[in-house]
Amino acid sequence: MFQKAKYILLSLYFLLPNKNFAQKNDLTSQEIKFTKLYSKVLSYPIENYDSLNYYAEKFENEFIGFIKNNPTTFDYPFKRIIDSNICWINTSNDKNFRIYSWDTRTGGSMHIFKTIYQWKSNGKVFVNVPKYAEGDPGSFCSKIFTVIINNQPFYLAITNGIFSNKSMMQEISTFGIKGNKLVDTIKLFKTKTKKLNKISVEFDFFSVVDRPERPLELISYDEKKNIIYIPVVDNNGKVSNKNILYQLKGSYFEFIGIETGKRK
């Protein structure tokens, strides 16, 4: 009896690492597959719309299905996909929220993006694919900041829309996890007159084309001072050197003024 129990324990010992290795190996092979599939999207110009659209939709459907059906993807780094500039994959510092976003390459000068939200709650992984209104080209996420308010984590996502070679938008929006649900209606920003769950800035790309960073960091967050900087943009979309400041005070990021540059 003892020998039988010992045999079972040894079998489990060797089986578990092999299972984990097999899962990781499968994720890697799938990532390689998606990298090759997206290369098909890149191989067709916008003029060859039928072929381009076919592979763009094929990548979208298969990638979304893969993320939905494989919770282990939440902890997988997808290094090949990121390094190949196929998809922006941003994960919160507490490892509970992730955003996947990519350019379908089907929109010409107006870029059309797709997004997947993935989060962890109560030991389970959940997925949501947002549906955009007709005419909304979507956006890509370039960064996620995690803030703790009243002992609860909230996430500030920086997203970017490209409407033409000139007209673009950057936005900061809030997310939270309540139970097993992802909530995007939490109003953390407090102006003089109202509360908002997001703040967006439309701007002329050519007014900031000389800035070195990519993606652009027009909206930024100083995690030490708990200050969000929103650039002041004139009526022509030109980005100035002034910023609108929101600082975390209690339960909200409250408007505290407009200043030139950033605080040191």
- Kindly report the number of other CB atoms within 10 A of residue 69's CB atom: 9
Phi-psi region of 115 (alpha: psi -120 to 50; beta: other; left: phi over 0): beta
Pairing mode of beta strands 124-128, 113-121: antiparallel
Phi and psi torsions of 131, nearest 5°: -105, 130
Q: Which residues pair with 173 in a beta bridge?
A: 157, 198
pLDDT at position 28 over 80: yes
- Name all contacts of 143-150 with Cβ < 8 Å and 24+ positions apart: 143/90, 143/217, 144/90, 144/91, 144/92, 144/97, 144/99, 145/221, 145/223, 146/92, 146/93, 146/94, 147/226, 147/248, 149/188, 149/248, 149/251, 150/251
What's this model's pTM, rounded to 2 decimal places? 0.90
- What pLDDT was estimated at residue 25? 78
Q: How confident is the model at residue 22 (pLDDT cuts 50, 70, 90)?
A: low
pLDDT at position 7 over 70: no
- Do 67 and 127 form a contact (C-beta atoms < 8 A)? yes
Q: What would the pLDDT profile of 79-134 be if each residue is shown by its tens digit?
A: 999 999 999 999 999 999 999 999 999 999 999 999 999 999 999 999 999 998 99
Q: What would the pLDDT profile of 150-162 be if each residue is shown by its tens digit?
A: 999 999 999 999 9
DSSP of 89-112, one letter per residue? Answer: EEE-TTSSEEEEEEE-S-STTS--
- What pLDDT was estimated at residue 2? 47
d(C-alpha 185, C-alpha 105), whole Å: 29
- What pLDDT was estimated at residue 188? 98
Q: What would the pLDDT profile of 190-222 be if each residue is shown by its tens digit?
A: 999 999 999 999 999 999 999 999 999 999 999
